[in-house]
């Protein structure tokens, strides 16, 4: 599993219990819907749990410990790797876990009927954005407008949006119409094209396209609150944005807390990776122009100092040190451009 996928699953693993716990105080059943479930786990050695397995494990924990009065039920949708998904989740059976073959769009009627009026967290994490058309998202917003608690955690693949939006001035190309129409269907309008043709630097154009989509989501959902978190590789390269859509400030606060602690864990890894990169550059210098390379003991001492500094800062920032798995750095921002969460408040 790539570090950015680990980061994403750390966020889900931290937020799902909070979502279920908060809403479980007044609802006996909570639903988690994974619209693009994949195989359920990553083919590492040993295998690493994916979102369907993480959710099922939490549902099992709630059922066996009896510490909570609510139950979590999981619905997973997959078209390509359905058989592998069923194999991964073989230890879990309905109604705790239900697996549906096909696309999210094909199964949406069934899903909405099954979750009924219960609070539901929809996790929408496709490769690219096919299956995330505005028509699908609008149906989830309709549910929220009917006062059925609905939250989304969705992937916004700005890299693919940027690439496809670039076709806006590729006149005469046979593929132009279909590609631009796919972005129209994602955004629910063709008004995004004004941003695509504007004379803007690449980073600013991507920022404006993302903000445009977030603003439309906030307007679509009743009392909509949308926050973005940048999912990056360990070297800082942006992979995509994870967007959290909620209709209550408490959901926003809970997510911010999760991301803050995941971010703190990343700081230690980032500093170690940066220190190792410096060491690698050092030993690759020309032997005639560089001083003697550091000994293993010197390199170890340098890495220990970097780690000690990171731990000290982490202890100072949050009063305790906890060491979850390695993750990639989040960036959180509202559609209005204001940064949110504990870090923004000076913690």
Confidence at residue 174, expressed as pLDDT on a 0 to 100 scale: 87
Handedness of CA 305, 307, 308, 310 (dihedral sign): positive
Q: In what order do the strands lie in the sheet with 71-78?
A: 97-101, 71-78, 29-34, 120-124, 150-156, 238-246, 225-232, 332-334
List of residues 6+ apart from 129 with CB closer than 8 A? 155, 156, 157, 160, 161, 182, 186
pLDDT tens track for 235-270: 888 899 999 999 999 999 999 999 988 878 777 777
> Shortest CA distance to 22 belongs to which of 76, 68, 73?
68
Q: What is the pTM (predicted TM-score) of this model?
A: 0.81
Q: What is the pLDDT of residue 316?
A: 60
Backbone angles phi, psi at 44, to 5 degrees: -85, 180
What pLDDT, on the 0 to 100 scale, is given for residue 322? 54
Strand ranges inside the chain, DSSP E: 29-34, 41-42, 48-49, 71-78, 97-101, 120-124, 150-156, 225-232, 238-246, 332-334
What is the DSSP-derived secondary structure letter of residue 62?
Answer: H
Q: pLDDT tens-digit profile of 44-63? A: 888 899 999 999 999 999 99
Nearest to 222 by CA among 124, 140, 156: 140
Cross-strand partners of 325: none
In the three-class reduction of DSSP (H, G, I as helix; E, B as strand; rest coil), residue 242 is classed as: strand
Residue-range domains of the chain with CATH: 3-262 (3.40.50.150), 263-325 (no CATH)
**Confidence at residue 65, expressed as pLDDT on a 0 to 100 scale:** 86
Q: Determine contact, residues 72/59, Cβ cutoff 8 Å.
A: yes
* pLDDT tens for the chain, residues 1 to 347: 777 788 899 999 999 999 999 999 999 999 999 999 999 999 888 889 999 999 999 999 999 987 678 999 999 999 999 999 999 999 999 999 999 999 999 999 999 999 999 999 999 999 999 999 999 999 999 999 999 999 999 999 999 999 999 999 888 788 999 999 999 999 999 999 999 999 999 999 999 999 999 999 999 999 999 999 998 888 888 899 999 999 999 999 999 999 988 878 777 777 777 777 777 766 665 545 555 555 667 666 766 766 676 666 656 655 555 554 544 445 556 666 655 544 443 33
Torsion over CA: 72, 73, 79, 82 (sign):
positive
User: Do 133 and 182 contact (CB within 8 A), yes or no?
Assistant: no
- At residue 284, the pLDDT reads 61
């Amino acid at each position: 599993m790539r570090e950015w996928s680990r980061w994403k699953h750390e966020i889900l693993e931290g937020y799902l219990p909070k979502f279920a716990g908060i809403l479980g105080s007044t609802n006996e059943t909570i639903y988690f819907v994974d619209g693009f479930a994949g195989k359920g786990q990553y083919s590492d050695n040993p295998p690493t749990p994916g979102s369907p397995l993480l959710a099922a494990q939490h549902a099992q924990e709630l059922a066996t410990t009896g510490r909570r009065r609510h139950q979590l039920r999981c619905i997973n949708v997959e078209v390509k790797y359905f058989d592998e998904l069923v194999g991964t989740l073989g230890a879990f059976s309905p109604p705790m876990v239900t697996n549906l073959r096909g696309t999210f769009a094909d199964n949406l009627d069934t899903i909405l009927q099954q979750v009924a009026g219960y609070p539901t967290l929809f996790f929408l994490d496709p490769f690219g954005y096919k299956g995330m058309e505005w028509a699908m998202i609008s149906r989830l917003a309709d549910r929220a407008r009917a006062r059925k608690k609905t939250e989304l955690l969705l992937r916004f693949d700005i890299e693919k949006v940027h690439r496809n939006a670039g076709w806006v001035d590729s006149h005469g190309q046979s593929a132009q119409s279909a590609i631009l129409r796919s972005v129209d269907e994602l955004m629910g309008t063709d008004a995004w094209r004004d941003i695509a043709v504007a004379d803007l630097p690449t980073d600013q154009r991507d920022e404006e396209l993302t903000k445009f989509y977030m603003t439309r989501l906030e307007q679509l959902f009743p009392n909509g609150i949308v926050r973005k978190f940048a999912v990056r590789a360990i070297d800082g390269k942006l992979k995509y944005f994870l967007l959290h859509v909620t209709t209550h400030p408490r959901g926003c606060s809970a997510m911010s807390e999760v991301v803050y602690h995941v971010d703190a864990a990343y700081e230690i890894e980032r500093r170690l990776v940066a220190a190792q990169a410096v060491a690698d550059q050092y030993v690759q210098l020309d032997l005639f122009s560089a001083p003697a390379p550091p000994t293993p003991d010197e390199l170890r001492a340098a890495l220990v100092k970097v780690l000690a500094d990171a731990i000290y800062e982490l202890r100072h920032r949050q009063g305790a040190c906890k060491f979850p798995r390695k993750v990639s750095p989040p960036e959180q921002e509202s559609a209005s451009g204001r940064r949110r969460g504990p870090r923004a408040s000076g913690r």
